[in-house]
Amino acid sequence: KQEVTQIPAALSVPEGENLVLNCSFTDSAIYNLQWFRQDPGKGLTSLLLIQSSQREQTSGRLNASLDKSSGRSTLYIAASQPGDSATYLCAVKGTRDSNYQLIWGAGTKLIIKP
C-alpha cells in the first residue's frame, strides 16, 4: 500500500532564504507526483506536476525534482517571500490503483518571516 510522508511537518524561515521541502513515497509504481499549495481555509493550488519519466519541473522560483527509484521528491523554493507562507502538499498517483486516486502526504506548514 502506497504511503506518502512529508518532512518537516512545519518550517519557519526568514524571508529571502532558499528552502527545500521533502516528500517520500513507498511504492515507485507511479504515474506522476504533484505538489500543491493550500492557504488557510482555501482550496488547493497545483504548483507542479512531474510525470514518472521526468526528473524535474520548474515554475518561476519553484523547482520540483523526482527520484522514482528512491521514492523521493523535493520542492525547492528560491528567495522565499512572506506570500509563500502556506501548507504544501505532495500527492502521488499510483499505477496499481484502478481508480487513479491520489495518495496524499500530511503536508508541510511553511511560515516565511518578514
From the list 90, 101, 85, the residue with the least C-alpha distance to 6 is 90
Single-letter amino acid code for the residue at 110: L
Measured from the CB atom, the residue of 35 and 77 that comes closer to other proteins is 35
- The answer to whether 42 contacts other proteins (rule: CB under 8 A) is yes
CB 62: neighbour CB atoms within 10 A? 17
Q: Site for other proteins (CB under 8 A): which residue of 12, 46, 59, 81?
A: 46
Should residue 106 be labelled a site residue for other proteins when binding is judged by CB under 8 A?
yes
Site string for other proteins, 55-94 (x = CB under 8 A): ----------------------------------x---x-
Residue 104 in contact with residue 36, Cβ under 8 Å?
no
How many residues at the interface with other proteins, by CB under 8 A?
24
Residues in contact with other proteins by CB under 8 A are 31-32, 34, 36, 41-46, 49, 51-52, 89, 93, 95, 99-102, 104-107
